[in-house]
Structure 1
Amino acid sequence: MSLKEHLYELRYRLGLAMLVIAVGAIFGFIWFQVRLGPIPSLGDILTGPYCQPDLAPYRADITKDGRCALLQTEPFEIFLVQLQVGTAAGAVLLSPLWLYQIWAFITPGLYQKERKFARVFVGAGALLFVAGAVLAYLVVPEGLKVLLGFGSGNWTTALTGSKYINFVITMLFIFGVSFLIPLVVVMLNRAGVLSYERLAKWRRGLTMGLFVFAAVATPGTDPISMVVLALALVLLFEMAIQISRVHDKRKAKLRSAEGWDQLDDNEAAPFHYVASDAEGNDPGEKAVASEPAKRVNYDDAT
Protein backbone atom coordinates (compact mmCIF):
# COMPACT_ATOMS: atom_id res chain seq x y z
CA MET A 1 0.00 0.00 0.00
CA SER A 2 1.12 3.53 -0.71
CA LEU A 3 1.27 6.25 1.95
CA LYS A 4 -2.01 7.67 0.64
CA GLU A 5 -3.71 4.30 0.90
CA HIS A 6 -2.39 3.88 4.45
CA LEU A 7 -3.88 7.25 5.42
CA TYR A 8 -7.23 6.26 3.92
CA GLU A 9 -7.11 2.99 5.86
CA LEU A 10 -6.25 4.85 9.07
CA ARG A 11 -9.14 7.28 8.54
CA TYR A 12 -11.52 4.37 7.94
CA ARG A 13 -10.43 2.50 11.06
CA LEU A 14 -10.55 5.60 13.26
CA GLY A 15 -14.01 6.43 11.94
CA LEU A 16 -15.30 2.99 12.89
CA ALA A 17 -13.65 3.27 16.31
CA MET A 18 -15.27 6.68 16.95
CA LEU A 19 -18.65 5.29 15.87
CA VAL A 20 -18.32 2.41 18.32
CA ILE A 21 -17.38 4.81 21.14
CA ALA A 22 -20.39 7.03 20.30
CA VAL A 23 -22.72 4.02 20.49
CA GLY A 24 -21.14 3.05 23.80
CA ALA A 25 -21.63 6.58 25.14
CA ILE A 26 -25.35 6.44 24.32
CA PHE A 27 -25.61 3.06 26.01
CA GLY A 28 -23.71 4.24 29.09
CA PHE A 29 -25.80 7.42 29.33
CA ILE A 30 -29.01 5.35 29.43
CA TRP A 31 -27.54 2.73 31.75
CA PHE A 32 -26.63 5.42 34.29
CA GLN A 33 -30.28 5.60 35.43
CA VAL A 34 -31.80 2.34 34.13
CA ARG A 35 -31.36 -1.16 35.54
CA LEU A 36 -30.47 -3.92 33.09
CA GLY A 37 -32.42 -6.81 34.57
CA PRO A 38 -30.46 -8.11 37.58
CA ILE A 39 -27.65 -5.65 36.89
CA PRO A 40 -28.06 -2.39 38.86
CA SER A 41 -27.83 0.95 37.16
CA LEU A 42 -24.44 2.60 36.72
CA GLY A 43 -25.43 5.35 39.15
CA ASP A 44 -26.26 2.78 41.83
CA ILE A 45 -22.95 1.00 41.26
CA LEU A 46 -20.94 4.21 41.66
CA THR A 47 -22.86 5.42 44.72
CA GLY A 48 -22.72 1.96 46.31
CA PRO A 49 -19.57 2.64 48.38
CA TYR A 50 -20.95 5.97 49.64
CA CYS A 51 -24.32 4.43 50.51
CA GLN A 52 -22.90 1.60 52.62
CA PRO A 53 -24.87 1.15 55.89
CA ASP A 54 -21.64 1.57 57.86
CA LEU A 55 -21.34 5.17 56.59
CA ALA A 56 -24.87 6.16 57.61
CA PRO A 57 -23.73 7.84 60.88
CA TYR A 58 -21.41 10.13 58.89
CA ARG A 59 -23.81 11.13 56.09
CA ALA A 60 -26.13 14.11 56.24
CA ASP A 61 -29.84 13.31 55.83
CA ILE A 62 -30.71 15.58 52.89
CA THR A 63 -33.71 13.68 51.49
CA LYS A 64 -37.28 13.58 52.75
CA ASP A 65 -37.52 9.81 52.68
CA GLY A 66 -34.10 9.24 54.27
CA ARG A 67 -32.53 7.52 51.26
CA CYS A 68 -28.87 7.95 50.38
CA ALA A 69 -28.26 10.61 47.71
CA LEU A 70 -25.53 12.91 46.48
CA LEU A 71 -25.81 16.68 46.38
CA GLN A 72 -26.15 18.81 43.24
CA THR A 73 -24.90 22.37 43.71
CA GLU A 74 -24.76 23.61 40.10
CA PRO A 75 -27.25 23.58 37.21
CA PHE A 76 -26.83 20.59 34.88
CA GLU A 77 -24.20 19.11 37.19
CA ILE A 78 -25.83 15.69 37.20
CA PHE A 79 -26.30 15.83 33.41
CA LEU A 80 -22.60 16.47 32.83
CA VAL A 81 -21.63 13.75 35.30
CA GLN A 82 -23.99 11.29 33.63
CA LEU A 83 -22.61 12.18 30.21
CA GLN A 84 -18.96 11.84 31.25
CA VAL A 85 -19.43 8.63 33.22
CA GLY A 86 -21.69 7.12 30.56
CA THR A 87 -19.13 7.85 27.84
CA ALA A 88 -16.31 6.31 29.87
CA ALA A 89 -18.35 3.23 30.79
CA GLY A 90 -19.50 2.71 27.19
CA ALA A 91 -15.94 3.04 25.89
CA VAL A 92 -14.72 0.45 28.41
CA LEU A 93 -17.54 -2.02 27.71
CA LEU A 94 -17.13 -1.78 23.93
CA SER A 95 -13.34 -1.56 24.05
CA PRO A 96 -12.87 -4.93 22.27
CA LEU A 97 -14.66 -3.51 19.22
CA TRP A 98 -12.79 -0.23 18.84
CA LEU A 99 -9.48 -1.75 19.91
CA TYR A 100 -9.96 -4.30 17.14
CA GLN A 101 -10.01 -1.47 14.60
CA ILE A 102 -6.63 -0.26 15.84
CA TRP A 103 -5.36 -3.83 15.87
CA ALA A 104 -6.58 -4.38 12.29
CA PHE A 105 -4.57 -1.35 11.16
CA ILE A 106 -1.35 -2.37 12.94
CA THR A 107 -1.32 -6.15 12.56
CA PRO A 108 -0.44 -6.34 8.82
CA GLY A 109 2.99 -4.93 9.68
CA LEU A 110 3.71 -7.52 12.39
CA TYR A 111 5.15 -11.00 12.12
CA GLN A 112 3.30 -14.00 13.51
CA LYS A 113 5.48 -14.14 16.63
CA GLU A 114 4.98 -10.43 17.26
CA ARG A 115 1.20 -10.78 16.91
CA LYS A 116 1.25 -13.65 19.39
CA PHE A 117 3.14 -11.64 21.99
CA ALA A 118 0.87 -8.63 21.41
CA ARG A 119 -2.25 -10.73 22.02
CA VAL A 120 -0.82 -12.19 25.21
CA PHE A 121 0.27 -8.86 26.66
CA VAL A 122 -2.93 -7.04 25.67
CA GLY A 123 -5.07 -9.79 27.19
CA ALA A 124 -3.01 -9.87 30.38
CA GLY A 125 -3.09 -6.07 30.59
CA ALA A 126 -6.89 -6.01 30.30
CA LEU A 127 -7.26 -8.59 33.08
CA LEU A 128 -4.83 -6.73 35.34
CA PHE A 129 -6.59 -3.42 34.76
CA VAL A 130 -9.99 -4.94 35.61
CA ALA A 131 -8.52 -6.61 38.71
CA GLY A 132 -7.10 -3.30 39.89
CA ALA A 133 -10.40 -1.48 39.30
CA VAL A 134 -12.34 -4.14 41.23
CA LEU A 135 -9.89 -3.93 44.12
CA ALA A 136 -10.27 -0.14 44.17
CA TYR A 137 -14.06 -0.44 44.26
CA LEU A 138 -13.81 -2.73 47.28
CA VAL A 139 -11.36 -0.40 49.04
CA VAL A 140 -13.32 2.85 48.50
CA PRO A 141 -15.89 2.19 51.31
CA GLU A 142 -13.16 1.49 53.85
CA GLY A 143 -11.24 4.59 52.78
CA LEU A 144 -14.37 6.74 53.02
CA LYS A 145 -15.07 5.38 56.49
CA VAL A 146 -11.65 6.58 57.65
CA LEU A 147 -11.88 9.95 55.90
CA LEU A 148 -15.43 10.71 57.06
CA GLY A 149 -14.69 9.52 60.59
CA PHE A 150 -12.44 12.49 61.34
CA GLY A 151 -14.32 14.99 63.47
CA SER A 152 -17.48 12.90 63.38
CA GLY A 153 -18.85 14.60 66.47
CA ASN A 154 -18.76 18.11 64.97
CA TRP A 155 -19.10 17.47 61.22
CA THR A 156 -21.57 15.86 58.89
CA THR A 157 -20.98 14.93 55.25
CA ALA A 158 -23.02 15.70 52.14
CA LEU A 159 -20.78 15.01 49.15
CA THR A 160 -21.50 16.67 45.83
CA GLY A 161 -22.08 14.38 42.88
CA SER A 162 -19.26 15.61 40.65
CA LYS A 163 -16.54 15.51 43.33
CA TYR A 164 -17.55 12.09 44.62
CA ILE A 165 -17.80 10.55 41.14
CA ASN A 166 -14.43 12.05 40.19
CA PHE A 167 -12.94 10.57 43.36
CA VAL A 168 -14.26 7.08 42.60
CA ILE A 169 -13.30 7.18 38.91
CA THR A 170 -9.82 8.38 39.81
CA MET A 171 -9.42 5.54 42.29
CA LEU A 172 -10.52 2.95 39.73
CA PHE A 173 -8.21 4.38 37.07
CA ILE A 174 -5.14 4.67 39.31
CA PHE A 175 -5.51 1.15 40.68
CA GLY A 176 -6.08 -0.25 37.20
CA VAL A 177 -3.09 1.51 35.64
CA SER A 178 -0.86 0.68 38.64
CA PHE A 179 -1.56 -3.02 38.14
CA LEU A 180 0.08 -2.73 34.70
CA ILE A 181 3.51 -1.88 36.17
CA PRO A 182 4.50 -5.55 36.75
CA LEU A 183 3.45 -6.33 33.18
CA VAL A 184 5.83 -3.63 31.92
CA VAL A 185 8.61 -5.26 33.95
CA VAL A 186 7.92 -8.61 32.27
CA MET A 187 7.92 -6.96 28.84
CA LEU A 188 11.27 -5.28 29.52
CA ASN A 189 12.69 -8.61 30.66
CA ARG A 190 11.47 -10.30 27.49
CA ALA A 191 13.08 -7.54 25.44
CA GLY A 192 16.40 -8.07 27.23
CA VAL A 193 16.42 -4.67 28.94
CA LEU A 194 15.97 -5.92 32.52
CA SER A 195 17.50 -9.18 33.69
CA TYR A 196 16.44 -11.26 36.65
CA GLU A 197 19.75 -10.54 38.38
CA ARG A 198 19.13 -6.80 38.28
CA LEU A 199 15.52 -7.16 39.45
CA ALA A 200 16.56 -9.40 42.34
CA LYS A 201 19.32 -6.96 43.28
CA TRP A 202 16.95 -4.00 43.21
CA ARG A 203 14.10 -5.80 45.01
CA ARG A 204 14.32 -3.86 48.28
CA GLY A 205 14.65 -0.47 46.64
CA LEU A 206 11.80 -1.17 44.22
CA THR A 207 9.57 -2.35 47.07
CA MET A 208 10.21 0.92 48.89
CA GLY A 209 9.52 2.79 45.67
CA LEU A 210 6.18 0.99 45.25
CA PHE A 211 5.08 2.09 48.74
CA VAL A 212 6.08 5.68 47.96
CA PHE A 213 4.25 5.50 44.64
CA ALA A 214 1.10 4.20 46.34
CA ALA A 215 1.23 7.02 48.90
CA VAL A 216 1.54 9.66 46.17
CA ALA A 217 -0.78 8.15 43.54
CA THR A 218 -3.90 7.44 45.60
CA PRO A 219 -6.28 10.43 45.53
CA GLY A 220 -7.46 9.87 49.10
CA THR A 221 -5.27 10.52 52.12
CA ASP A 222 -6.50 7.45 54.00
CA PRO A 223 -3.85 4.86 54.91
CA ILE A 224 -6.06 1.90 53.92
CA SER A 225 -6.09 2.55 50.17
CA MET A 226 -2.35 3.33 50.20
CA VAL A 227 -1.40 0.13 52.01
CA VAL A 228 -3.73 -2.07 49.95
CA LEU A 229 -2.38 -0.69 46.68
CA ALA A 230 1.23 -1.00 47.84
CA LEU A 231 0.81 -4.60 49.03
CA ALA A 232 -0.95 -5.59 45.81
CA LEU A 233 1.82 -4.03 43.71
CA VAL A 234 4.53 -5.73 45.77
CA LEU A 235 2.82 -9.09 45.27
CA LEU A 236 2.44 -8.56 41.52
CA PHE A 237 6.01 -7.29 41.26
CA GLU A 238 7.30 -10.42 42.98
CA MET A 239 5.34 -12.52 40.49
CA ALA A 240 6.96 -10.53 37.67
CA ILE A 241 10.41 -11.21 39.15
CA GLN A 242 9.72 -14.95 39.28
CA ILE A 243 8.48 -14.94 35.68
CA SER A 244 11.69 -13.15 34.70
CA ARG A 245 13.73 -15.75 36.57
CA VAL A 246 12.09 -18.59 34.64
CA HIS A 247 12.55 -16.74 31.33
CA ASP A 248 16.24 -15.97 31.94
CA LYS A 249 16.91 -19.53 33.06
CA ARG A 250 15.30 -20.89 29.91
CA LYS A 251 17.19 -18.39 27.78
CA ALA A 252 20.53 -19.33 29.37
CA LYS A 253 19.83 -23.01 28.74
CA LEU A 254 19.06 -22.27 25.09
CA ARG A 255 22.27 -20.26 24.69
CA SER A 256 24.27 -23.13 26.19
CA ALA A 257 22.59 -25.70 23.94
CA GLU A 258 23.35 -23.67 20.81
CA GLY A 259 26.96 -23.21 21.82
CA TRP A 260 26.89 -19.42 22.17
CA ASP A 261 29.01 -19.59 25.33
CA GLN A 262 31.79 -21.45 23.52
CA LEU A 263 32.15 -18.87 20.75
CA ASP A 264 35.24 -16.70 20.48
CA ASP A 265 34.84 -12.99 21.12
CA ASN A 266 35.70 -12.25 17.49
CA GLU A 267 33.33 -14.89 16.11
CA ALA A 268 29.80 -13.94 15.12
CA ALA A 269 27.02 -15.85 16.87
CA PRO A 270 24.51 -17.79 14.75
CA PHE A 271 21.02 -16.38 14.54
CA HIS A 272 17.66 -17.83 13.57
CA TYR A 273 15.06 -16.46 11.26
CA VAL A 274 11.77 -17.60 9.78
CA ALA A 275 11.00 -16.75 6.19
CA SER A 276 7.89 -14.60 5.68
CA ASP A 277 5.78 -13.85 2.67
CA ALA A 278 4.98 -10.40 1.30
CA GLU A 279 2.13 -9.92 3.77
CA GLY A 280 4.29 -10.68 6.80
CA ASN A 281 2.69 -14.08 7.48
CA ASP A 282 4.94 -16.95 8.51
CA PRO A 283 4.47 -20.00 6.28
CA GLY A 284 5.46 -22.35 9.08
CA GLU A 285 8.93 -23.14 7.78
CA LYS A 286 11.46 -24.32 10.29
CA ALA A 287 13.99 -21.85 11.58
CA VAL A 288 17.19 -21.89 9.59
CA ALA A 289 20.52 -21.18 11.25
CA SER A 290 22.76 -18.98 9.22
CA GLU A 291 26.46 -19.55 8.98
CA PRO A 292 28.62 -17.30 11.15
CA ALA A 293 29.69 -14.22 9.29
CA LYS A 294 33.36 -13.94 8.48
CA ARG A 295 35.27 -11.24 10.26
CA VAL A 296 36.91 -8.72 7.93
CA ASN A 297 40.26 -7.32 8.97
CA TYR A 298 40.09 -3.71 7.78
CA ASP A 299 43.72 -3.16 8.74
CA ASP A 300 44.77 -5.38 5.83
CA ALA A 301 42.23 -3.95 3.41
CA THR A 302 43.56 -1.81 0.57
Structure 2
Amino acid sequence: MARKKHTEMSFLDHLEELRWLLIRSTIAIIIVAGACYFIDDYIFNTIIFGPKDPNFITYRFFCGVTHFFGVDDTYACATEFKFIIQNTEVGGQFSIYLWMLVTAGFILGFPYILWEFWRFISPALYEKERKKAALFIIVSSILFFIGVLFGYFVVVPLSINFFATFQASSDIVNQFTIDSYISMIKTSLIASGLVFEMPIIIYFLTKLGLVTPVFLRKYRRAAIVIILILAAIVTPPDIPSQIIVSIPMLILYEASIIISALVVKKQEQNG
Protein backbone atom coordinates (compact mmCIF):
# COMPACT_ATOMS: atom_id res chain seq x y z
CA MET A 1 0.00 0.00 0.00
CA ALA A 2 1.49 3.27 -1.05
CA ARG A 3 1.65 6.32 1.11
CA LYS A 4 -0.39 9.29 0.07
CA LYS A 5 1.63 11.69 -2.04
CA HIS A 6 2.71 14.77 -0.23
CA THR A 7 5.25 17.50 -0.71
CA GLU A 8 8.69 16.48 0.45
CA MET A 9 9.79 18.55 3.43
CA SER A 10 13.32 19.50 4.37
CA PHE A 11 14.74 19.12 7.85
CA LEU A 12 14.15 22.81 8.53
CA ASP A 13 10.55 22.45 7.35
CA HIS A 14 10.05 19.65 9.87
CA LEU A 15 11.53 21.83 12.60
CA GLU A 16 9.14 24.60 11.62
CA GLU A 17 6.20 22.19 11.82
CA LEU A 18 7.43 21.02 15.22
CA ARG A 19 7.72 24.62 16.39
CA TRP A 20 4.12 25.36 15.43
CA LEU A 21 3.01 22.11 17.06
CA LEU A 22 4.55 23.28 20.32
CA ILE A 23 3.07 26.77 19.93
CA ARG A 24 -0.46 25.50 19.27
CA SER A 25 -0.21 22.97 22.10
CA THR A 26 1.01 25.67 24.50
CA ILE A 27 -1.87 27.95 23.51
CA ALA A 28 -4.34 25.10 24.06
CA ILE A 29 -2.89 24.40 27.50
CA ILE A 30 -3.15 28.09 28.44
CA ILE A 31 -6.78 28.25 27.24
CA VAL A 32 -7.76 25.16 29.25
CA ALA A 33 -5.79 26.49 32.24
CA GLY A 34 -7.78 29.73 31.95
CA ALA A 35 -11.01 27.73 31.99
CA CYS A 36 -9.81 25.90 35.11
CA TYR A 37 -9.58 29.28 36.84
CA PHE A 38 -13.37 29.17 37.27
CA ILE A 39 -13.17 25.90 39.22
CA ASP A 40 -9.95 26.68 41.09
CA ASP A 41 -11.59 26.18 44.48
CA TYR A 42 -12.60 22.63 43.53
CA ILE A 43 -9.16 21.89 42.05
CA PHE A 44 -7.29 22.98 45.16
CA ASN A 45 -9.55 22.18 48.10
CA THR A 46 -11.15 18.99 46.77
CA ILE A 47 -8.64 17.46 44.36
CA ILE A 48 -5.21 18.61 45.51
CA PHE A 49 -5.81 18.53 49.24
CA GLY A 50 -8.21 15.57 49.14
CA PRO A 51 -5.51 12.90 49.70
CA LYS A 52 -4.34 14.62 52.92
CA ASP A 53 -7.67 13.74 54.53
CA PRO A 54 -7.61 10.36 56.36
CA ASN A 55 -11.19 9.82 55.12
CA PHE A 56 -10.05 9.90 51.49
CA ILE A 57 -11.58 7.02 49.51
CA THR A 58 -8.24 5.24 48.97
CA TYR A 59 -7.47 5.05 52.68
CA ARG A 60 -10.95 3.77 53.43
CA PHE A 61 -10.57 1.13 50.72
CA PHE A 62 -7.23 -0.21 51.96
CA CYS A 63 -8.47 -0.07 55.53
CA GLY A 64 -11.52 -2.11 54.49
CA VAL A 65 -9.28 -4.64 52.72
CA THR A 66 -7.13 -5.15 55.82
CA HIS A 67 -10.23 -5.60 57.97
CA PHE A 68 -11.62 -8.10 55.45
CA PHE A 69 -8.53 -10.26 55.91
CA GLY A 70 -8.70 -9.85 59.68
CA VAL A 71 -5.61 -7.65 59.92
CA ASP A 72 -5.56 -4.71 62.34
CA ASP A 73 -3.23 -2.35 60.49
CA THR A 74 -2.92 1.14 61.97
CA TYR A 75 -0.81 2.15 58.96
CA ALA A 76 -3.60 1.34 56.50
CA CYS A 77 -6.26 2.77 58.81
CA ALA A 78 -4.67 6.04 59.88
CA THR A 79 -7.18 8.33 61.59
CA GLU A 80 -5.00 11.42 61.60
CA PHE A 81 -2.09 12.79 59.58
CA LYS A 82 0.12 14.85 61.83
CA PHE A 83 1.57 17.33 59.37
CA ILE A 84 0.87 20.82 58.12
CA ILE A 85 1.42 22.33 54.69
CA GLN A 86 3.07 25.71 54.73
CA ASN A 87 4.25 28.37 52.33
CA THR A 88 7.77 29.68 52.92
CA GLU A 89 8.19 32.10 50.01
CA VAL A 90 6.68 35.51 49.36
CA GLY A 91 5.26 34.61 45.96
CA GLY A 92 5.01 30.91 46.69
CA GLN A 93 1.24 30.57 46.73
CA PHE A 94 0.77 32.63 43.60
CA SER A 95 3.42 30.62 41.73
CA ILE A 96 1.90 27.31 42.84
CA TYR A 97 -1.55 28.58 41.87
CA LEU A 98 -0.45 29.36 38.31
CA TRP A 99 1.48 26.15 37.83
CA MET A 100 -1.37 24.00 39.08
CA LEU A 101 -3.71 25.65 36.58
CA VAL A 102 -1.14 24.96 33.85
CA THR A 103 -0.82 21.35 34.99
CA ALA A 104 -4.60 20.97 34.92
CA GLY A 105 -4.55 22.54 31.45
CA PHE A 106 -1.98 20.01 30.26
CA ILE A 107 -3.87 17.01 31.68
CA LEU A 108 -7.30 18.07 30.41
CA GLY A 109 -5.88 19.29 27.09
CA PHE A 110 -3.89 16.11 26.49
CA PRO A 111 -6.27 14.80 23.75
CA TYR A 112 -5.64 17.96 21.72
CA ILE A 113 -1.88 17.58 22.20
CA LEU A 114 -2.20 14.02 20.91
CA TRP A 115 -4.10 15.29 17.89
CA GLU A 116 -1.31 17.79 17.15
CA PHE A 117 1.24 14.99 17.51
CA TRP A 118 -0.76 12.83 15.13
CA ARG A 119 -0.86 15.62 12.56
CA PHE A 120 2.93 15.90 12.83
CA ILE A 121 3.65 12.21 12.23
CA SER A 122 0.76 11.44 9.84
CA PRO A 123 2.67 12.33 6.62
CA ALA A 124 4.98 9.39 7.34
CA LEU A 125 2.08 6.93 7.73
CA TYR A 126 0.11 4.94 5.22
CA GLU A 127 -3.23 6.31 4.03
CA LYS A 128 -5.08 3.54 5.85
CA GLU A 129 -3.19 4.33 9.06
CA ARG A 130 -3.97 8.04 8.83
CA LYS A 131 -7.68 7.21 8.91
CA LYS A 132 -7.19 5.79 12.40
CA ALA A 133 -6.54 9.21 13.93
CA ALA A 134 -9.71 9.16 16.01
CA LEU A 135 -8.95 5.67 17.35
CA PHE A 136 -5.39 6.68 18.23
CA ILE A 137 -6.52 9.81 20.08
CA ILE A 138 -9.34 8.03 21.93
CA VAL A 139 -7.25 5.04 23.04
CA SER A 140 -4.21 7.14 23.97
CA SER A 141 -6.36 9.62 25.89
CA ILE A 142 -8.15 6.85 27.79
CA LEU A 143 -4.83 5.24 28.75
CA PHE A 144 -3.43 8.61 29.84
CA PHE A 145 -6.46 9.47 31.96
CA ILE A 146 -6.47 6.00 33.54
CA GLY A 147 -2.81 6.55 34.40
CA VAL A 148 -3.57 9.96 35.91
CA LEU A 149 -6.38 8.46 38.00
CA PHE A 150 -4.06 5.66 39.09
CA GLY A 151 -1.49 8.24 40.13
CA TYR A 152 -4.09 10.25 42.03
CA PHE A 153 -5.94 7.43 43.77
CA VAL A 154 -3.01 5.07 44.36
CA VAL A 155 0.46 6.61 44.08
CA VAL A 156 -0.30 9.93 45.78
CA PRO A 157 -2.25 8.50 48.76
CA LEU A 158 0.38 5.81 49.35
CA SER A 159 3.10 8.46 49.38
CA ILE A 160 1.20 10.83 51.66
CA ASN A 161 0.18 8.04 54.02
CA PHE A 162 3.75 6.80 54.37
CA PHE A 163 5.54 10.13 54.75
CA ALA A 164 2.83 11.63 56.96
CA THR A 165 2.93 8.74 59.43
CA PHE A 166 6.66 8.00 59.34
CA GLN A 167 8.73 9.49 62.16
CA ALA A 168 12.44 9.11 62.71
CA SER A 169 11.89 10.73 66.11
CA SER A 170 8.87 11.94 68.05
CA ASP A 171 10.68 15.27 68.46
CA ILE A 172 10.44 15.94 64.72
CA VAL A 173 7.32 17.68 63.45
CA ASN A 174 6.31 17.25 59.83
CA GLN A 175 5.88 20.61 58.14
CA PHE A 176 5.76 20.06 54.38
CA THR A 177 6.22 23.01 52.09
CA ILE A 178 3.45 23.64 49.59
CA ASP A 179 6.04 23.41 46.81
CA SER A 180 7.16 19.88 47.77
CA TYR A 181 3.55 18.73 48.26
CA ILE A 182 2.37 20.05 44.90
CA SER A 183 5.51 18.80 43.15
CA MET A 184 4.83 15.27 44.42
CA ILE A 185 1.28 15.40 43.11
CA LYS A 186 2.25 16.81 39.69
CA THR A 187 5.04 14.28 39.24
CA SER A 188 2.87 11.35 40.30
CA LEU A 189 -0.05 12.27 38.03
CA ILE A 190 1.89 13.13 34.87
CA ALA A 191 4.42 10.31 35.26
CA SER A 192 1.65 7.75 35.81
CA GLY A 193 -0.28 9.08 32.82
CA LEU A 194 2.75 8.83 30.53
CA VAL A 195 3.71 5.36 31.81
CA PHE A 196 0.25 4.11 30.87
CA GLU A 197 1.02 5.14 27.28
CA MET A 198 3.45 2.21 27.07
CA PRO A 199 1.27 0.08 24.72
CA ILE A 200 0.92 3.01 22.29
CA ILE A 201 4.66 3.68 22.35
CA ILE A 202 5.44 0.00 21.75
CA TYR A 203 2.94 -0.01 18.88
CA PHE A 204 4.78 2.77 17.05
CA LEU A 205 8.22 1.39 17.86
CA THR A 206 7.15 -1.95 16.41
CA LYS A 207 5.76 -0.25 13.30
CA LEU A 208 9.15 1.43 12.84
CA GLY A 209 10.94 -1.88 13.28
CA LEU A 210 12.78 -0.74 16.42
CA VAL A 211 11.07 -3.27 18.70
CA THR A 212 9.82 -6.82 18.17
CA PRO A 213 7.81 -9.17 20.40
CA VAL A 214 10.82 -11.49 20.45
CA PHE A 215 12.94 -8.66 21.86
CA LEU A 216 10.33 -7.81 24.48
CA ARG A 217 10.01 -11.43 25.58
CA LYS A 218 13.78 -11.94 25.63
CA TYR A 219 14.33 -8.99 27.94
CA ARG A 220 11.20 -9.52 30.06
CA ARG A 221 13.27 -10.15 33.21
CA ALA A 222 15.26 -6.96 32.67
CA ALA A 223 12.01 -5.08 32.10
CA ILE A 224 10.61 -6.44 35.37
CA VAL A 225 13.68 -5.19 37.21
CA ILE A 226 13.34 -1.75 35.60
CA ILE A 227 9.63 -1.65 36.49
CA LEU A 228 10.42 -2.52 40.11
CA ILE A 229 13.05 0.23 40.19
CA LEU A 230 10.57 2.75 38.76
CA ALA A 231 7.96 1.65 41.30
CA ALA A 232 10.51 2.13 44.06
CA ILE A 233 11.25 5.66 42.80
CA VAL A 234 7.65 6.88 42.57
CA THR A 235 6.37 5.19 45.73
CA PRO A 236 7.36 5.19 49.41
CA PRO A 237 10.12 2.74 50.40
CA ASP A 238 7.77 0.02 51.64
CA ILE A 239 7.23 -3.28 49.86
CA PRO A 240 3.38 -3.31 49.73
CA SER A 241 3.24 0.09 48.00
CA GLN A 242 5.87 -0.94 45.46
CA ILE A 243 4.00 -4.15 44.66
CA ILE A 244 0.69 -2.30 44.26
CA VAL A 245 2.25 0.14 41.78
CA SER A 246 4.27 -2.54 39.95
CA ILE A 247 1.29 -4.76 39.10
CA PRO A 248 -0.37 -2.38 36.56
CA MET A 249 3.02 -1.65 34.98
CA LEU A 250 3.69 -5.35 34.54
CA ILE A 251 0.25 -5.81 33.00
CA LEU A 252 0.95 -2.94 30.59
CA TYR A 253 4.25 -4.55 29.60
CA GLU A 254 2.58 -7.88 28.86
CA ALA A 255 -0.14 -6.06 26.89
CA SER A 256 2.61 -4.30 24.94
CA ILE A 257 4.10 -7.67 23.97
CA ILE A 258 0.71 -8.81 22.64
CA ILE A 259 0.27 -5.55 20.69
CA SER A 260 3.77 -5.84 19.24
CA ALA A 261 3.07 -9.43 18.16
CA LEU A 262 -0.18 -8.38 16.46
CA VAL A 263 1.59 -5.58 14.58
CA VAL A 264 4.33 -7.94 13.35
CA LYS A 265 1.77 -10.58 12.34
CA LYS A 266 -0.19 -8.00 10.34
CA GLN A 267 2.98 -6.75 8.65
CA GLU A 268 3.87 -10.31 7.64
CA GLN A 269 0.39 -10.89 6.24
CA ASN A 270 0.62 -7.71 4.16
CA GLY A 271 3.94 -8.84 2.84
TM-score by length of 2: 0.71
1:235-274 paired onto structure 2 within 5 Å: 235-252=251-268, 254=269
Offset of residue 57 of structure 1: 2.7
Spell out, residue by residue over 1:77-121, the C-alpha distance to the aligned partner (whole angstroms, 9 max, x if none): 111111110122123323445655565576567542231355444
Query: Is residue 2:164 matched to residue 1:145?
Result: no
Equivalent-residue separation in structure 1 for 2:216 and 2:142 (angstroms) = 24
> Partner of 1:201 in structure 2?
218
> Partner of 1:159 in structure 2?
176
Q: SS state of the match for residue 49, structure 1?
A: helix
> Partner of 2:130 in structure 1?
115
Moved more, 191-200 or 103-112: 103-112
Equivalent-residue separation in structure 2 for 1:108 and 1:170 (angstroms) = 33
In structure 2, relative to structure 1, the CA distance for the partners of 1:102 and 1:30 (3 Å cut) is same
1:27-176 paired onto structure 2 within 5 Å: 27-33=35-41, 40-53=42-55, 57-60=80-83, 70-97=85-112, 100=115, 107=122, 111-139=126-154, 140-151=156-167, 154=170, 155-176=172-193
Contact 2:81–2:164 (8 Å) recurs in 1? yes
Equivalent-residue separation in structure 2 for 1:11 and 1:201 (angstroms) = 38
Contact 2:159–2:235 (8 Å) recurs in 1? no
When Rg is computed on C-alpha atoms for both structures, the one with the higher figure is: 1
Greater RCO between the two (CA within 8 Å, min separation 6)?
A: 2
Equivalent-residue separation in structure 1 for 2:152 and 2:161 (angstroms) = 14
TM-score by length of 1: 0.64
1:216-231 paired onto structure 2 within 5 Å: 216=233, 218=234, 220-231=236-247
Amino acid at match of 1:58: F
> Partner of 1:232 in structure 2?
248
Contact 2:103–2:186 (8 Å) recurs in 1? no
What is the aligned length? 240
Query: Is residue 2:31 matched to residue 1:23?
Result: yes
Q: SS state of the match for residue 86, structure 1?
A: helix
Offset of residue 41 of structure 1: 3.5
> Partner of 1:280 in structure 2?
none
Equivalent-residue separation in structure 2 for 1:82 and 1:89 (angstroms) = 11
Question: Identity of counterpart residues, as a percentage?
Answer: 27
Q: SS state of the match for residue 194, structure 1?
A: coil
Offset of residue 144 of structure 1: 1.9
Q: SS state of the match for residue 58, structure 1?
A: coil
In structure 2, relative to structure 1, the CA distance for the partners of 1:102 and 1:151 (3 Å cut) is closer
Aligned partner of 2:195 among 153, 174, 178:
178
Equivalent-residue separation in structure 1 for 2:260 and 2:123 (angstroms) = 29
Offset of residue 71 of structure 1: 1.8
In structure 2, relative to structure 1, the CA distance for the partners of 1:23 and 1:51 (3 Å cut) is same
Higher helix share: 2
Offset of residue 28 of structure 1: 2.3
Equivalent-residue separation in structure 2 for 1:120 and 1:98 (angstroms) = 15
**Structure 1: segments with no counterpart, 5+ residues:** 34-39, 63-69, 256-270, 272-302
Amino acid at match of 1:59: K
Q: SS state of the match for residue 159, structure 1?
A: strand
Equivalent-residue separation in structure 2 for 1:47 and 1:214 (angstroms) = 23
